[in-house]
Structure 1
Amino acid sequence: MMLEAGWQGSPQLTALCGGEALDRELCNRLVCATRRFWNMYGPTETTVWSTCQRIEDVDTPISIGTPVAETTVRILNGQGLLQPVGVAGELYIGGAGLARGYLWQPELTAERFIPDRYSEEPGMRLYRTGDLARWRRDGTIEYLGRNDHQVKLRGFRIELGEIEACLQAHPAVRECIVMVREDRTGEKRLVAYIVANADLGTSPVAVLRAHASQTLPEFMVPTAIVTLPAFPLTPNGKVDRNAMPEPDLTSLATREYAAPKGHVEMALAEIWQQLLGVSRVGRTDHFFELGGHSLLALRLIEGINATLGVEFALRDLFANPVLSQMAKQLTAQDKKDVATSDRPNLVHLRRGRSPVKLVCIHPGGGGGIGEAYAPLIGALSKEMDVTGISAVDLDTLTRPEASVPEIAANYLHQLSDIIQTPWILVGWSAGGLIAYEMTRLAMKNGCIPLGTLLIDSYPHTVTRCLMNAKFEWNFTNFFSGLAG
């Protein structure tokens, strides 16, 4: 406050700073404005100062220093065990300055003042500060914030103060606060709010995420980073966390937008948008930079395989996290399968353990077998094994089959293993004509399906009068049984 009011400092003054975490900007201003500058730390319960550090120049790393005389500091984990150097834990203080307890509050005293199991002197106690800290290699202590800022996200316990300390170590970051927020899809994500003291360039989110990734595991790197001119404050001057703005698309590590090209990229972009809760996805965007994580990755794999009728694996995602790369991988995989397989039309839409196999025939126009049948597959029992027959890309073949009977015969040949087991055939639209012809040929060969279902289709030998209420009831009842 004095600096903001215009105070210029004094070359004869020794300044002690405490009460709140010291940020880099204030530290540098006070170092330059005083003869000596000390960063002090300690709660009232340990008679105010328990650790201190003299900061001699602007390049000195900020810490709360080392314990003062007759003071013991221990950093413990949740089980009360000593934490090694570099690992965050809760800060406990003991020694000559320790208070006896809280007046007329025995329960609170027992909770906050505990026996020091590591002391060689009997009866020694420690005060539980509720603050997070870690030892540095040089023997000083780094303050990481309050322990009540610990969160659990996707099964991991995360110290928000540790993330804040990491980001604040970047020379361009003056202040940092990390929170957990829900996006539009209800997914919880880490969001960092920063006040910068230098230009972070045209891609501040990418710069800071890269900085954090050097020291933090992937699950602790914030998904979104919001740059603010200043943090909102409460009437008493504290940071108002509830007033922090919702992150928008600019808070994510988006790259220069380039519209998706081709049906594969467009289909992938739509899946990404739904999973990540973003308004648009470009062909140069990176799945994990947009907020993807390990759990979302599994849902992405499931969505891609169901929609596009492919077998995309988790290793493929990690090798091709950029949308255009992913589409290229899928296209190359599809062409390879067509070129090398003697069953180029077969696509496993779901591998189940049921003895009955469901076979789905592509609609008119081919392609997109997974997308076409996704709603149906989603309504069926997860034990149901589903195989799709997709129309082969005409660019990869010398010519398509000339007639429906030839197509049906070819598909039955590719299904030779499946039709030896109990199977059900489904055809949609023009695929219904093929399914009908396949059933007719299968009956001649003794491989009769348990049922043949035509969706929005009918064989050319049957009139539309069969598509009545009774037929619809039988159709619905049959699939209700499959859905379990």
Structure 2
Amino acid sequence: MVDLPDPTIDLDWSGYVGAIHEIFHKNAQAHPDRPCVTETKSQTTPTRTFTYRQISEASNTIANHLHDAGITNGDVVMIFAHRSVELVCAFMGTLAAGATVTVLDPLYPPQRQQIYLEVSQPKALISIGKAVDENGPLAPVVQKYIDEELSLKTQLPNLRLSDAGVLSSGEQDTEDLFASVRAKASSLPDVIVGPDSNPTLSYTSGSEGKPKAVLGRHYGLTRYFPWMAERFHLSSESIFACLSGIAHDPIQRDIMTPLFLGAQLLIPAKEDIQHEKLSEWMNIWSPTVTHLTPAMGQILVGGATAKFPSLKHVFFVGDILTTRDCKVLRKLGPSCAIVNMYGTTETSRAVSYFEIPSAEADPTALDSLGDVVPAGWGMHNVQVLVVSREDHNKMCGVAEVGELYIRAAGLAEGYLGEPEKNKEKFIENWFVDNAKWVEADKANAKGESWRQYYQGPRDRLYRTGDLGQYLPSGAVQVSGRIDSQVKIRGFRIELNEIDANLGGSPLIRDCKTLVRRDRNEEPNLVSYIVPEIAEWKRWLEAQNQEDVEDEGVEMGSSVVYLKRFRRIQAEVRDHLKARLPVYAVPSTYIVLQKLPLNPNGKVDTPALPFPDTTEMMEDASEEDLKSWEALSETEKTVAAQWATLIKGLNEKTIKSESDFFDCGGHSLLAQQLLLNIRKNLGVDITIGVLYANPTLSALSSQIDRLKSGQEPTVDKAAEAVYAKSLDELINTLDTKYQSADPEELSPSAGATFFLTGATGFLGAYLVQDILSRPNTKLLVHIRGVKDTSAAKERLTRSLKGYALWQDSWADRIDCVLGDLSKPRLGLDDASWKQVAETADVIVHNAAYVHWIARYEQMMRSNVLSTIDAMKLCNEGKPKILSFVSSTSTLDTEHYVNLSDKETATGRGAVLEEDDLQGSRLGLGTGYGQTKWVSEQLVREAGKRGLRGAVIRPGYILGSRHGGVSNTDDFLIRLCKGCVQLKARPRIVNSVNAVPVDHVAHVVIAAALNPLPGVNVVHVTAHPRLRMNEFLSTLSYYGYDVPEVDYEEWKTQLEEFVSAGAVEKDQEQSALMPLFHMATSDLPSTTRAPELDDRNAVAVLKADAERWTGVDDSAGEGITREDIGRYLRFLAETKFMPLPTGRGRELPPIPAGVAEAQAQFGVGGRGGAA
């Protein structure tokens, strides 16, 4: 067992090692002639090197001037800064005066500079001469504020250090400003500071555009340097490079670390800090240590060829560090160890570390890491605590994701002038009584002079707002921000996950994905990408294509390529489509020369351009115009409709073979397109026709047929493709299957389950049903995560979101990484072997659920994955297979007519032993077709020895007790759509809807108590409601939804949808994603056969006898009270409003259920794991 931090131990609260300016002064006295700061040459200036004596005397001169001017402890001194030796002198001089240093970056806009002045209220202003030379004087609005609003005690308007080390700052009233203090250059002013004195004032982002000002403490400035020197072998022989942003708090570390150690600091010229040149500078000047943000690291390695063998350590701070960034750096700096350091402005310093040995020391060091480098372990006397989000009195264990808190004696003082924010973020440690440390400190006090500036021990935790988990090594992995999720078209999306997958493309050097709103206030996923030029040229050569001349267009501070890399966008989109859900694939890609950085060295998000779609639109070439002229009138009209809906698409660049979806269309735009075609061309195209004919020529041909009074063409071969596929796939099955004996599985003997689709709606309740049984264990198949810890976290979050999670389950669950769309369920060899040798039962629940996609698009995920699941049954231990299918396999006229006939004769309904040949032709959805083929394959395997069950549920609605519902379900969306329309359709068909927990019970009962062979188990409602009864509950509970004829309701829905914006999911009809279903004759399409369920009764009775003691064989249906609980849940989770009319009060749901859904973000279908 790894030792995790104990939040009750002593962290040496009074271990103050002294002020940095005092330690620097001692180093200067001990080694006066040692090189201290070197400014390397620029295009206009030579190299200049200054000794410790020269820097110390210049700093002391500034300190004594400030002191004599009345600057004292707590006063703020602002530096109008420049990366130069004068910045070092100004820093150290301010600190030696006992004051608080803050930096004003000349690159900030005047309004921002004025805000910093308003927040900090400085008492002195130091302007570095080079800052004025390069940027001009302060803007008039800034200077006016200084003159009229500030009470400055002194100004140093033009600070310069000559080549000989003589300090000057211009003249005031014809006098040398430093004349009175030059004689004091060898001594510090008589000033005392202590651990709680405030040496720095740094800024971090705040609300409403106003930055938060963070007061540092002298304790934290120096506390960790001795430990760092020992841990990373830093010494007076080290040579540091000054590369941090001049207004970014890591600049403090750049300056103070070498001065603490007695080492040398190299300051590059401005023109050296850019792609390719920075690596050359490193090669020439040979620094051994540097601090970088990941964005600055990109500048160091981007396009670089020059190696820097002298570099021994790079300390990364300020943002997420990817292993991809590290790989390139290790090639250029083979002797360089990479240290990822986690911390914030509020922690005063980066406070954790994760070291990656150099390529020379360990060439395979990155192989065991995921995409993101961990934050690592707390530094000496620092703890990174992972605290449970549900119970803050509980620390998380390994692999449990919680909120990160930093516990350290060196935390910042807090936010200047924001006491309420300080209470929220700097929290007294609730794990231990602080009085314990106070008493110990009193006993050890020796009357030190600095104690007048010490409040005594304060055991505080800084609440970071980050999520993370302990890895098995005890290191911390940051997994994101609490508030990092965004929502587009109703889907929750992690932007970091998009960027991680983008970064996996060899064509991409750097990227950043944001949600941006266009001129219509519609949210869009926009990815900003910087191409890897060398790889781009290789790709063009492989594609037999030529590069395009394009110098780019300047937009703000960025250069945007509108033409040259247009072909890269389709490649990147395909790259993401293979790795992310369709809704998480950005709609817009903006190719930049480089990502803009703010002065702190981070990506300057506000500066990223969002061109108008007209600017992004591709110009039509001469060839395009010839193709356009050759199009038919229908094709031109349809192309114009595409261009209206898809941003940045020029209709005249659309060719006859262009595909609507490849051009940027998606499912919601497809619905809108069909409406527009109906309005503009007067024909009613179904969504199925569009998906079957997505190219311009094919779709236009179908429209022409309809306009001439003909029916759309149906590809008979395509219609029969799923049946033909079955005939081919049956021949690939094993000739014989082994099978477990269900009698050997019992509450005493236990059972190990392998479950797919566990993070979906039904999947969560399958987990609950399995683990509620004694001696059961669970192996879970999880898609789209980088390691098993993240997989377990995803599963845990899903179960917590459904208010199902129990801590006692943690040790009974193991996860494997996989992907249905890949062979062998996407399992690696070790995971395949693990499942084969340990599982007794396989429950194959996962599927790619899409009501429009074609069979061929879904076959890999839905059909071939089922064959793979059966292959697993035939390897290792004998197993039982429980396959979750759907009543969509019965959606043909044959079974509706058969049901009517059987019911009329009194013989019952569609039997479970029916051979399903009535659906060999006629199934209308690719999803239903894949389930039909899979069922037939599983039943065939049953004839060859496999034992198990095929479970066919209908509509799966919310849980019986909690009311937790799936907001992707058609019936749930139909309810919301009716409330939005203020009308409900009259449809009298029966509805086969069953609570999700009962469906889960049937699935697991069938798995543990299978009948001989493989049998179908129908999950049918007892009793069934009719659709008009189901929808009438809306009125019963007070919603204003009078019943109207279906055709009238359909017309209202079409008008409602036509008036809405495509992207605004919350204002649109909830039925927009299923619009084609809602408007395609629901009275006919919702007819469903009655189902015999004798096998379901048998397995439930057996389950009661052998496992649960509870007989649920009578079945379950949906009552009016159940629907009321669903509506309560949906209203409390803001999916739909509360009723406002007269009616019965909605039934209550258990406390915390709705809150769990909101916190953990579940409720969709999921399942395609």
Paired residue for 1:179?
514
Q: Measure the CA separation in 2 of the matches of 1:52 and 1:269.
A: 54
Paired residue for 1:264?
634
Paired residue for 1:322?
695
Q: Measure the CA separation in 1 of the matches of 2:391 and 2:662.
A: 35
Identity %: 29
For the pair shown, which has the larger CA radius of gyration, 1 or 2?
2
For 2:535, what is the secondary structure of its paired residue? coil
**Which range is displaced more, 196-205 or 219-228?**
196-205
Q: Is the 8 A contact 1:193 1:227 kept in 2?
A: yes
Change (3 A) 1:213 1:71: farther
Change (3 A) 1:49 1:100: closer
1:12-51 C-alpha deviation (Å, 9 max, x unpaired): 7233222344464576235642342222222254552234
Q: Is the 8 A contact 1:225 1:252 kept in 2?
A: no
Q: Measure the CA separation in 1 of the matches of 2:1053 and 2:376.
A: 65
1:60-109 C-alpha deviation (Å, 9 max, x unpaired): 3552325315744549889999999999x885234557849737854223
Q: Measure the CA separation in 2 of the matches of 1:143 and 1:253.
A: 40
Q: Is the 8 A contact 2:339 2:353 kept in 1?
A: no
For 2:511, what is the secondary structure of its paired residue? strand
Change (3 A) 1:244 1:320: same
List runs of 5+ in structure 1 lacking aligned partners.
341-351, 355-380, 387-484
Q: 1:109-120 residue pairs with structure 2 within 5 A?
A: 109-113=422-426
Change (3 A) 1:62 1:199: same
Q: Is the 8 A contact 2:399 2:472 kept in 1?
A: yes
Q: Is the 8 A contact 2:377 2:476 kept in 1?
A: no
Q: Is the 8 A contact 1:150 1:158 kept in 2?
A: yes
For 1:194, what is the secondary structure of its paired residue? strand
Q: Measure the CA separation in 2 of the matches of 1:15 and 1:385.
A: 60
Q: Measure the CA separation in 2 of the matches of 1:85 and 1:330.
A: 59
Paired residue for 1:159?
494
Change (3 A) 1:204 1:304: same
Alignment partner of 1:246 is 2:617: no
For 2:282, what is the secondary structure of its paired residue? coil
Change (3 A) 1:36 1:221: same
What TM-score do you get using the length of structure 2 for normalisation? 0.25
Q: 1:306-345 residue pairs with structure 2 within 5 A?
A: 306-331=679-704, 336-337=710-711
Change (3 A) 1:66 1:338: closer
Paired residue for 2:421?
108
1:318 to partner: Cα distance? 3.2
**Which range is displaced more, 159-168 or 12-21?**
12-21
Q: 1:199-218 residue pairs with structure 2 within 5 A?
A: 199-200=535-536, 201=539, 203-218=567-582
1:187 to partner: Cα distance? 3.8
Q: Measure the CA separation in 1 of the matches of 2:397 and 2:505.
A: 24
Q: Measure the CA separation in 2 of the matches of 1:274 and 1:43.
A: 45
1:54 to partner: Cα distance? 1.2
**Which range is displaced more, 306-315 or 27-36?**
27-36
Given residue 67 of structure 1, which amino acid in structure 2 is its aligned partner?
G
For 1:325, what is the secondary structure of its paired residue? helix
Change (3 A) 1:251 1:144: farther
Alignment partner of 1:14 is 2:313: yes
1:384-437 C-alpha deviation (Å, 9 max, x unpaired): 999xxxxxxxxxxxxxxxxxxxxxxxxxxxxxxxxxxxxxxxxxxxxxxxxxxx
Q: Measure the CA separation in 2 of the matches of 1:262 and 1:84.
A: 65
Q: Is the 8 A contact 1:268 1:323 kept in 2?
A: yes
For 2:405, what is the secondary structure of its paired residue? strand
Q: Is the 8 A contact 1:132 1:144 kept in 2?
A: yes
Q: 1:26-175 residue pairs with structure 2 within 5 A?
A: 28-29=328-329, 32-33=332-333, 34-46=335-347, 48-54=350-356, 56-57=358-359, 60=366, 61-65=370-374, 67-68=376-377, 71-74=383-386, 92-95=404-407, 99=411, 102=414, 106-113=419-426, 127-131=462-466, 150-175=485-510
Q: Measure the CA separation in 2 of the matches of 1:28 and 1:181.
A: 31
Q: Measure the CA separation in 1 of the matches of 2:663 and 2:713.
A: 35
What TM-score do you get using the length of structure 1 for normalisation? 0.56
Given residue 68 of structure 1, which amino acid in structure 2 is its aligned partner?
W
1:140 to partner: Cα distance? 7.3
Change (3 A) 1:309 1:112: same
For 1:163, what is the secondary structure of its paired residue? helix
Q: Measure the CA separation in 1 of the matches of 2:691 and 2:601.
A: 45
Q: Is the 8 A contact 2:502 2:576 kept in 1?
A: yes
Q: Is the 8 A contact 1:31 1:37 kept in 2?
A: no
Change (3 A) 1:108 1:250: closer
Instruction: Give the alignment partner of residue 230 of structure 1, picking from 586, 594, 605.
Output: 594
For 1:199, what is the secondary structure of its paired residue? helix
For 1:181, what is the secondary structure of its paired residue? strand
Given residue 211 of structure 1, which amino acid in structure 2 is its aligned partner?
H
May I ask how many residue pairs the two structures share in their alignment?
A: 346
Q: Measure the CA separation in 2 of the matches of 1:300 and 1:75.
A: 49
1:227 to partner: Cα distance? 1.8
Q: Measure the CA separation in 2 of the matches of 1:333 and 1:32.
A: 64
Q: Is the 8 A contact 1:189 1:223 kept in 2?
A: yes
Given residue 178 of structure 1, which amino acid in structure 2 is its aligned partner?
T
Paired residue for 1:276?
646
Q: Which is richer in helix?
A: 2
Q: Measure the CA separation in 2 of the matches of 1:169 and 1:291.
A: 22
Change (3 A) 1:265 1:36: same
Given residue 344 of structure 2, which amino acid in structure 1 is its aligned partner?
P
Given residue 279 of structure 1, which amino acid in structure 2 is its aligned partner?
N
**Which range is displaced more, 130-139 or 289-298?**
130-139
Paired residue for 1:188?
523
Given residue 535 of structure 2, which amino acid in structure 1 is its aligned partner?
D
| Aligned CA-pair RMSD | 5.0
Q: Measure the CA separation in 1 of the matches of 2:592 and 2:509.
A: 11
Change (3 A) 1:353 1:54: closer
Given residue 609 of structure 2, which amino acid in structure 1 is its aligned partner?
M
Alignment partner of 1:301 is 2:674: yes
1:308 to partner: Cα distance? 2.6
Given residue 303 of structure 1, which amino acid in structure 2 is its aligned partner?
N
1:158 to partner: Cα distance? 3.1
1:7 to partner: Cα distance? 0.9
1:136-172 C-alpha deviation (Å, 9 max, x unpaired): 9999766677666654332334332332222122233
Change (3 A) 1:252 1:176: farther
Q: Is the 8 A contact 1:19 1:41 kept in 2?
A: yes
Q: Is the 8 A contact 1:53 1:64 kept in 2?
A: no
1:267 to partner: Cα distance? 2.0
Q: Is the 8 A contact 2:377 2:475 kept in 1?
A: no
1:222 to partner: Cα distance? 1.0
1:204 to partner: Cα distance? 0.9
Given residue 223 of structure 1, which amino acid in structure 2 is its aligned partner?
S
Q: Measure the CA separation in 2 of the matches of 1:290 and 1:79.
A: 48
Q: Measure the CA separation in 1 of the matches of 2:326 and 2:315.
A: 12
Q: Measure the CA separation in 1 of the matches of 2:668 and 2:575.
A: 23
For 2:658, what is the secondary structure of its paired residue? coil
For 1:230, what is the secondary structure of its paired residue? coil
Q: Measure the CA separation in 2 of the matches of 1:28 and 1:339.
A: 54
